[in-house]
Amino acid sequence: MSWHLYIVSFIFSLVGIFHLVRPKAFMRIMPLYIPYHKLLVYLSGIAEILVGIGVLFEQTRTISIWSIIIMLVLFFPVHIHMLINKKAGLNLPKPVLIFRLLLQFVLIYWVYSYL
């Protein structure tokens, strides 16, 4: 197994833990048209932890990688919302928000390369 998968595992597991520990931070950046903010933050946090762990095992790696890709695509509306809504953008500079949005494509490519 590539050491890069340990990094993928760490990143997604850590972000998932933050979803559970600091849900309000994630709820604040969600577009209003998406319902059930708190529930979705908790579910996505649990999912990120599970896929983060799942990439470490050969039996679950493929489903975990595809799940990560799907989640990253599903998170696009949040990143776009942060970019166009100053309040949701956490007062981050526009270049940082654009970078975060573009980073999604890099992350998708990165995890896809392990299939």
SS3 27: helix
Of 30, 67, 31, residue with least CA distance to 48? 67
- The whole-number pLDDT of residue 97 equals 93
Q: pLDDT digit string (tens) for 55-73?
A: 999 999 999 999 999 999 9
Q: What is the dihedral of CA 15, 20, 22, 28, to 10 degrees?
A: 90
- The residues of the chain scoring below 50 in pLDDT are none
Q: What is the predicted pLDDT for the residue at 21?
A: 98
Query: The pTM is what?
Result: 0.93
Place of tokens 């599970």: 50
The domain limits of the chain are 3-112
The one-letter code for the residue type at 68 is I
Helix runs in the chain, H state only: 3-21, 23-28, 37-54, 58-74, 76-84, 94-112
- What confidence score (pLDDT) does residue 91 get? 85
